[in-house]
């Protein structure tokens, strides 16, 4: 017996309340052309939204046909996607605009340029029939060892983050696309990725980085996403997603947010391992969430969450008034954003690369007198495997260097070598007689990168160092691993680009 058949008619809810409960769900699914029958039944009963991932994307034309198909089933169905830019997104196969990550935009600190990048992303979404974007990130990168925010944040200063959030939200709104500031009340003060475990931020209320979220609310952001983070000084027992004190008292009363509060994905281990996705859905809605996301393509998980919510409504454990309130907000969001605009105006295809070029930083003098010093280089690009929930993957520095200097050689290394010393010896032999470039991505978080880099520098002290995450010593820094970031770094390394674009860290 399937979940759709679980509820006996005698115990069924009124049709309008059943639809109301379904409005509070956002589901992931498998497929690029055919909509699964289970998803069709959920949509028929009022499903509030779907979230697309790389698994749903083959090319731009296919995505537009898919969104048309979904909306033909229910015109008020919200179709959303994570679309932060800078390598955090799922539309590379659909010709997504190349824009750098948020940190690079914050380094440039030109809100007008940030708006142009956000406009390009939102215009592309609108052209594909996607009208909800789970971006921008409002977190402040506070902890140096934070494993999940980093270059996804606009920076380390709440005021800088706030002004770039405003620019992003306003540009996205102008395209008729719903933006979503995340992850309330902040994920930048943790040492744990909530995808993998419970994350904790021990700071008291008056030390939290709430200014960006206040700025987002003031800018009219229609959605906020909650963090699966425990704030013991606010609620010692539950993460923000499940906390009535945080979602109710702090978000609704203190910040005055009246839009849709959506949970981060319930299958993340901070929720799934301790509560289970189904109980997480019920508790989140009771605490004040308006929609809960089940991003995994296994629709049985979505059905279990749905059944838990319906069961709690029948028993009175979940008050009808709370779900009616939540669904009302979702309906208003859908009235405003579910239907794509007509013809989509063109966006600036060069905004992202301009921003990435302006963001590159390095030692004073490098990129000026040093232009062209690494032509024909052997490039060693060290980086962790793409995060399965975030990255489209596939970008590497060698490919971008070779695009501007076909004589370059090299390799990408995405994990710890069995014998780093032997690997370093082999690279040194292959690179003999050529400039050597050693690129790392957040090496402080990944000891294998530090060890291999040290081995290479012992053999080649003349190697040029590059950081493709946050700054790392004296390395040339791109502040991100999006294609635009890597292309900009490649131009500087090879001397192909705008002379004088690279400045010292303080510039």
Pick from 83, 200, 181, 210: which is nearest to 143 by CA?
200
Q: How many angstroms separate the CA atoms of 142 and 232, rounded? A: 18
264 is catalytic: yes
Sheet holding 223-226, edge to edge: 180-184, 223-226, 260-262
3-state secondary structure at position 260 = strand
Three-state secondary-structure class, residue 234: coil
36 backbone dihedrals φ, ψ, rounded to 5°:
-60, 145
Q: Catalytic one among 3, 22, 183, 195?
A: 195
Q: Which of 250, 257, 300 is nearest to 278 (CA)?
A: 300
The partner residues of 27 in beta bridges, in order of sequence, read 50, 294
SS3 of the chain: helix, strand, coil, percent, to 5: 45, 15, 45
User: Is 100:484 a contact under the CB 8 Å cutoff?
Assistant: yes
Would you tell me how many other CB atoms lie within 10 Å of the CB of residue 76? Answer: 17
| φ, ψ (nearest 5 deg) of residue 333 | -60, -45
Residues in contact with 193: Cβ distance below 8 Å, sequence separation at least 6, in sequence order: 147, 148, 199
CA distance 331 to 312: 22
Helix (H, G, I), strand (E, B) or coil at 502: coil
Q: Which of 82, 235, 264, 472 is catalytic?
A: 264
CA angle 179, 247, 187 (to 5 degrees): 65
Sign of CA dihedral 73, 77, 78, 81: negative
Q: State yes or no: is 195 an active-site residue.
A: yes
Give φ, ψ of 137 to 5 degrees: -75, 125
347: Cβ–Cβ under 8 A, 6 or more apart, which residues? 97, 116, 119, 120, 123, 124
3-state secondary structure 136-197: CECCCCCCCCCCCCHHHCCCCCHHHHHHHHHHHHHHHHHCCCECEEEEECCCCCCCCCCCCC
Alpha carbon distance 336, 163 (integer Å): 25
Largest Cα span, the chain: 81
Task: List residues with catalytic annotation.
Answer: 195, 264
């Amino acid at each position: 017996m399937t979940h759709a058949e679980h509820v006996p008619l005698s115990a069924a809810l009124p049709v309008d309340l059943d639809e109301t409960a379904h409005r509070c769900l956002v589901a992931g699914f498998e497929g690029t052309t055919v909509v699964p029958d289970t998803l069709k039944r959920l949509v028929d009963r009022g499903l509030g939204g779907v979230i697309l991932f790389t698994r749903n994307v083959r090319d731009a034309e296919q995505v537009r046909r898919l969104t048309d198909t979904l909306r033909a089933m229910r015109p008020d169905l919200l179709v959303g996607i994570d679309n932060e830019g800078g390598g955090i997104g799922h539309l590379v196969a659909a010709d997504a605009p190349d824009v750098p990550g948020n940190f690079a935009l914050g380094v440039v600190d030109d809100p007008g340029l940030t708006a142009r990048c956000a406009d390009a992303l939102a215009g592309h979404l609108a052209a594909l029939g996607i009208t909800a974007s789970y971006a921008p990130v409002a977190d402040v990168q506070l902890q140096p060892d934070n494993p999940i925010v980093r270059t996804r944040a606009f920076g380390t200063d709440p005021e800088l983050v706030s002004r770039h959030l405003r620019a992003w939200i306003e540009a996205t709104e102008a395209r008729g696309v719903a933006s979503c500031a995340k992850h309330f009340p902040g994920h930048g003060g943790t040492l744990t990725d909530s995808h993998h475990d419970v994350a904790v931020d021990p700071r008291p209320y008056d030390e939290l980085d709430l200014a960006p979220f206040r700025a987002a609310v003031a800018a009219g952001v229609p959605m906020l996403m909650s963090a699966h983070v425990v704030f013991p000084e606010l609620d010692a027992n539950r993460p923000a997603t499940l906390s009535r004190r945080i979602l109710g008292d702090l978000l609704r009363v203190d910040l005055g947010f009246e839009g849709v509060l959506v949970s981060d994905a319930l299958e993340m281990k901070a929720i799934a391992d301790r509560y289970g996705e189904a109980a997480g859905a019920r508790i989140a809605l009771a605490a004040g969430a308006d929609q809960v996301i089940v991003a995994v393509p296994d629709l049985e998980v979505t059905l279990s969450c749905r059944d838990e919510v319906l069961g709690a409504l029948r028993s009175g454990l979940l008050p009808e008034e709370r779900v009616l309130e939540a669904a009302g907000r979702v309906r208003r969001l859908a009235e405003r954003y579910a239907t794509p605009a007509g013809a989509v105006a063109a966006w600036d295809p060069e905004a992202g690369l301009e921003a990435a070029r302006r963001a590159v930083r390095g030692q004073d003098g490098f990129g000026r007198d040093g232009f062209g010093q690494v032509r024909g280089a052997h490039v060693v690009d060290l980086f962790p495997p793409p995060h399965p929930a975030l990255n489209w993957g596939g970008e590497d520095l060698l490919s971008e260097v070779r695009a501007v200097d076909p004589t370059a050689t090299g390799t990408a290394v995405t994990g710890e070598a069995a014998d780093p010393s032997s690997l370093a010896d082999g690279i040194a032999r292959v690179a003999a007689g050529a400039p050597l470039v050693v690129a790392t991505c957040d090496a402080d978080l990944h000891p294998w990168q530090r060890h291999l880099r040290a081995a290479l520098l012992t053999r080649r002290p003349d190697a040029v160092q590059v950081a493709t995450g946050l700054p790392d010593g004296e390395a040339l820094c791109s502040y991100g691993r999006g294609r635009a970031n890597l292309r900009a770094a490649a131009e500087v390394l090879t001397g192909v680009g705008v002379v004088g674009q690279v400045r010292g860290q303080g510039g």
